[in-house]
Amino acid sequence: MITSVIIFPGSNCDRDVIHAISENTGTKVESVWHKERVLPEGTGLVVLPGGFSYGDYLRCGALSARSPIIDAVKEHALNEGLVLGICNGFQVLLETGLLPGAVLTNKTLTFICKKCYLRVERNDTPFTKGYKKEQVVQFPIAHNDGLYFLPPEKLENLEKNGQVVFRYCSESGKTDPEFNPNGALNNIAGITSRSGNVLGLMPHPERASEDILGGKDGVIMWRSIQRWIERE
């Protein structure tokens, strides 16, 4: 498995996700500058990392979604390659149209950085196969604009299609509004494309990939992806 981590100007979780994936899977991870037009040969997983690409200017992710590499990422997705967008990477995916919807400023109107509980809604995606259904995991969040939004009809479709993969919840898995840190509709923390090969989420699995950092729930995601790709 080869992972390509796209680096935009202002990405700041690129080195973190490279560390988490290479330490936990022992596979090759390449950095790809956003001005490239092709992905490295043999890329199985493309990661759009967290950070503040282009300083969040204009709209979070809007400028990066027009970077030269994005065409190659779209093509990779069309060919059923795996694409993972974390935090700002998720925002970029929304702006490219690879995933539906938009994120708005948190309901608190502030940046929020803290550990959050998430409920795994689907464990039949390449990214989540290793989790149990409805397993509660802990990933930190760190964002200013994470309130996931879709108009009611489209939201209903998203739910009907089972595209919601992670939902903010309590330690025991309750999804009451009080456990929703940013006001995201239906407590949505992460969604997948209809075909299941593109995942975007606001929380950071790479920050939950070592005991010394306070948790390892993210490791299951890296191993799930590895198993999926190596089995193919």
Partner 1 sequence: MEINTEMDRKGINLMDYKEAGLTRNEYETLKNALDREPNKTELLIMGVMWSEHCCYKSTRNLLSMFPAKGKNVVAGPGENAGIVDIGDGLGLAFKVESHNHPSAVAPFQGAATGVGGIIRDIITLGARPVASLDGLFFGDISKQKTRNLADGVVKGIGGYGNPVGVPTIGGKTFYSPRYAGNPLVNAMCLGLVEIPKIISSKTAKAGQLVVLLGSKTGRDGIAGAAFASTQLAEDTKTSRPNIQIGDPFVEKLLIEACIELRDKDLIVSMQDMGAAGITSSSSEIAAKSKVGMILDFEKVPLRENDMEPWEIALSESQERMLLIARPEDMEQISEIAQKWDLDSAVIGHVTENKDYLIRNNGKIVADIPASLIGDGCPSPEWKMTRPASIEKRWNFDLEDLPENTDMQKKLLSLLKNPGLSDKGCIYEQYDSMVQTNTVTGPGNNDTSVIRVKGTEKLIAISMEADPWKCDLDPYRGATETVGRSIRSLAVAGAEPLGMTNCLNFASPEKPDQYWVLNECVKGMADFCKQVECPVISGNVSLYNETINGSILPTPLVGIAGLISMKEDLVSSGKWQEGDHIYYAGMPNPSLAGSYYQLLITGGISGRPLPFTPEAEQDFLDRAVKTAKNRLVSSGRTIKGGGLLVTLAKECIASEKGAAFDMNIPTRKDVFLFGEGGPRAIYSVPRSKVVAFKHQWNGFPILKIGEVRGDRLLVNNDIDISVVELTKAWRLK
C-alpha closest to that of 149 among 180, 119, 104: 104
Q: Given the complex with partner 1, which of 16 and 95 has the nearer CB atom?
A: 16
Site membership for partner 1, residue 36 (CB under 8 A)? no
Min dist. Cβ of residue 143 to partner 1 (A): 9
The whole-angstrom separation of Cα 232 and Cα 215 is: 29
Q: Torsion over CA of 177, 181, 182 and 188, rounded to 10 degrees?
A: -70
Site membership for partner 1, residue 15 (CB under 8 A)? yes
80 an active-site residue?
A: no
For residues 227 and 130, the answer to whether their CB atoms sit within 8 Å is yes
Bridge pairing between strands 2-7 and 43-48: parallel
Min dist. Cβ of residue 158 to partner 1 (A): 29
What are residue 229's phi and psi, to 5 degrees? -70, -40
Q: Given the complex with partner 1, which of 12 and 27 has the nearer CB atom?
A: 12
Min dist. Cβ of residue 180 to partner 1 (A): 15
Neighbours of 111 (CB within 10 A): 13
The whole-angstrom separation of Cα 82 and Cα 19 is: 19
87 an active-site residue?
A: yes
Q: Given the complex with partner 1, which of 36 and 159 has the nearer CB atom?
A: 36
Q: Which of 55, 133, 134, 156 binds partner 1 (CB under 8 A)?
A: 55
23 an active-site residue?
A: no
The whole-angstrom separation of Cα 20 and Cα 29 is: 10
Q: Given the complex with partner 1, which of 41 and 211 has the nearer CB atom?
A: 211
Min dist. Cβ of residue 159 to partner 1 (A): 29
Binding mask 161-200 for partner 1 (x = CB under 8 A): ----------------------------------------
**Would you give the DSSP letter of residue 182?**
S
Give the pair of three-digit tokens for residue 221: 């995601």
- Among residues 13, 60, 87, 116, the one annotated as catalytic is 87
User: Could you tell me which residues are beta bridge partners of residue 140?
Assistant: 115
Q: Given the complex with partner 1, which of 13 and 188 has the nearer CB atom?
A: 13
Site membership for partner 1, residue 62 (CB under 8 A)? no
The residues that are catalytic are: 87, 204, 206
